[in-house]
Amino acid sequence: MITAQDVGGVHIKYLYHCRRQLWLYLRGIRPESLNASVQLGEAVHDTSYNRNSPVDLGAARLDFLDGRHWVHEVKSSARPTEADEAQGRHYCHRLRNLGIDVKGAVLHYPKTRRIFRYPYTPEGAELAEADIAEVLTVASSSASPDRLSNSRCRGCSFTDYCWTE
Ligand code: SF4
């Protein structure tokens, strides 16, 4: 069973996108197309910020931490989402718990050349803790959460699994 220490950025992202997706992922279900989207994310990262090294926090792996203690994440999507913000907040929280005076998260969207900065706050810390608790709640559920509406599943790598009768 997953513990609070095991909760990583992918879990947080899926929590915000779709709880069913998180539940499936926690049970080791990895559609082939998920690998393709991971490869796309890696390619965007490699061609955008190849001078910086990833920071491995065990369960979570962030793109890089700058000298002023801002977490940077490079996204393959065009637009920011609540899930992206939550993921950045999660990394900040992990680093704070390790004693690093992290300032916040900077999310980069190379496709649209946009950058968003999210300072880490006490409210953010509470939200990050609540997100971890929610991931554990989904993990402990014996039944898979309901599907989202079909229109919200567009592009999800689990579509075949969820919608093929
Ligand atoms: S296909 Fe839809 S319901 Fe299934 S995991 Fe993806 S978003 Fe969730």
What tens digit of pLDDT does each residue of 135-161 get?
A: 999 999 999 999 999 888 988 888 888
Q: What is the pLDDT of residues 59-75, one digit of tens each?
A: 677 788 888 999 999 98
HSE-up of residue 156 (Cα within 13 Å, Cβ side): 24
User: If you measure from the C-alpha of residue 106 to the centroid of ligand 1, how many angstroms do you get, rounded to a whole number?
Assistant: 28
Supply the mean pLDDT for the chain.
Answer: 87
pLDDT in the model for residue 29? 86
Q: What is the pLDDT of residues 8-45, one digit of tens each?
A: 999 999 999 999 999 999 998 887 656 555 555 555 55
The residue ranges of DSSP E strands in 1-147, in sequence order, are 55-56, 61-62, 64-65, 70-74, 104-109, 114-119
Banded model confidence at residue 6, pLDDT cuts 50, 70, 90: very high
User: If you measure from the C-alpha of residue 24 to the centroid of ligand 1, how many angstroms do you get, rounded to a whole number?
Assistant: 9
**pLDDT exceeds cutoff 60 at 118:** yes
Structure tokens of 36?
A: 């393709």
Instruction: Kindly state the average pLDDT of the residues 49-68.
Output: 73
pLDDT in the model for residue 101? 93
Q: How far is CA 164 from CA 45, 52, 150, 160, 161, in A?
A: 33, 41, 12, 5, 6
HSE-up of residue 26 (Cα within 13 Å, Cβ side): 29
Instruction: Look at 29 and 50; give whichever has higher pLDDT.
Output: 29
User: If you measure from the C-alpha of residue 52 to the centroid of ligand 1, how many angstroms do you get, rounded to a whole number?
Assistant: 33
User: If you measure from the C-alpha of residue 21 to the centroid of ligand 1, how many angstroms do you get, rounded to a whole number?
Assistant: 6
Answer for the pair 55, 62: CB distance below 8 angstroms, yes or no.
Answer: yes
Ligand 1 atom nearest to CA at 150:
2
To test ligand 1's pocket by mutation, which of 10, 150, 156 has the most ligand atoms within 8 angstroms of CB?
156
User: If you measure from the C-alpha of residue 37 to the centroid of ligand 1, how many angstroms do you get, rounded to a whole number?
Assistant: 15
Q: Check if 148 has its Cβ closer than 6 Å to any atom of ligand 1.
A: yes
pLDDT in the model for residue 52? 64
To test ligand 1's pocket by mutation, which of 159, 163, 165 has the most ligand atoms within 8 angstroms of CB?
159
Instruction: Kindly state the average pLDDT of the residues 107-122.
Output: 95
The Cα–Cα gap between 97 and 162 comes to 37
Instruction: Look at 91 and 160; give whichever has higher pLDDT.
Output: 91
